[in-house]
């Protein structure tokens, strides 16, 4: 399989090929980074691309899998997350320029769990400012729907919808307070899960409404959503 074809696999298909060592995590990560560079200028789905960090994580995953240390289905799979979740050593903006230089000293629990699973973080995804629902204000550039660049990819997890639909990550995380996973999934022809409140930890998540916020996956298939969750 050509490297340029890898981003078009479902996350579950890519996971199977990584486990069998038919595809390396480094090869998959490089393929996604190259596609982000080529395509995202039109979409504005990413706020921060973690190129060097992603390649380092991919090399670590490849070494672990080769030595028999396979962690499970997310191991080596390139993912991206809404820029609402604290990421240790990587800026977390919440979609606002007020936090443009904020670099957390610890990970949100969802990020810690992704690291434990061996997933590769490609970067932090665009969102409406402070996750304000259907507000169309995006200080880091308005994200575009990859199916029609004149259209909205949904809010507030705008980048999660756009990047996943445009094959710029294998699967993604969004956050839903009043529809911000379900909306982008519907707008972009994807699958999204808003988990039961409390099913997924909100620790380290920049809150919109603490009694309603829920973190969950936005993916291209139901199986991909289940694997990510």
Active site includes 100? Answer: no
Q: What is the pLDDT of residue 135?
A: 63
In sequence order, what DSSP letters do the residues of 163-188 get, joined into one string?
Answer: HHHTTSSSEEEEEESSSTTHHHHHHT
Identified catalytic residue from 24, 82, 128, 158:
82
The catalytically annotated residue of 156, 157, 160, 172 is: 156
pLDDT at 136: 66
- With 0-12 / 13-18 / 19 or more C-beta atoms within 10 angstroms meaning exposed / middle / buried, residue 170 is buried
Q: What is the mean pLDDT of each run of 10 residues along the chain (229 residues)?
A: 95 98 98 98 98 98 98 98 98 97 98 98 97 81 96 96 98 96 97 95 92 96 98
Contact 166, 147 (CB under 8 A): no
State residue 133's pLDDT score.
74
| pTM for this prediction | 0.97
**What's the confidence (pLDDT) of residue 1?**
83
Model pLDDT, residue 211? 87
What pLDDT, on a 0 to 100 scale, did the predictor assign at position 91? 98
Query: If we measure between CA atoms, which residue out of 223, 116, 133, 118 comes closest to residue 174?
Result: 133
Distance (Å, rounded) from C-alpha 179 to C-alpha 90?
27
**Active site (annotated) includes residue 82:** yes
* Active-site pick, 128, 158, 180, 219: 180
């Amino acid at each position: 399989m050509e490297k340029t074809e890898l981003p078009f696999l479902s996350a579950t298909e890519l996971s199977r090929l990584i486990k069998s060592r038919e595809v390396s995590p480094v090869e998959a990560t490089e393929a996604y980074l190259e596609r982000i560079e080529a395509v995202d200028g039109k979409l504005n789905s990413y706020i921060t691309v973690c190129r060097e960090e992603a390649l380092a994580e991919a090399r670590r995953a490849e070494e672990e899998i080769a030595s028999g240390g396979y962690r499970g289905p997310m191991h080596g799979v390139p993912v991206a997350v809404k820029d609402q979740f604290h990421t240790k050593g990587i800026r977390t903006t919440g979609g606002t320029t007020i936090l443009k230089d904020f670099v957390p000293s610890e990970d949100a629990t969802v990020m810690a769990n992704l690291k434990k699973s061996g997933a590769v973080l490609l970067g932090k995804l665009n969102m409406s400012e402070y996750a304000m629902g259907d507000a169309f204000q995006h200080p880091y550039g308005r994200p575009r729907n990859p199916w029609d660049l004149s259209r909205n990819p949904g809010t507030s997890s705008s980048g999660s919808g756009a990047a996943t639909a445009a094959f710029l990550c294998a699967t993604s995380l969004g956050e839903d307070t009043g529809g911000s996973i379900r909306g982008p999934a519907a707008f972009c022809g994807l699958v999204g899960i808003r988990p039961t409140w409390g099913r997924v930890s909100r620790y380290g998540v920049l809150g919109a409404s603490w009694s309603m916020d829920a973190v969950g996956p936005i993916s291209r298939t139901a199986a991909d959503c289940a694997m990510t969750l």
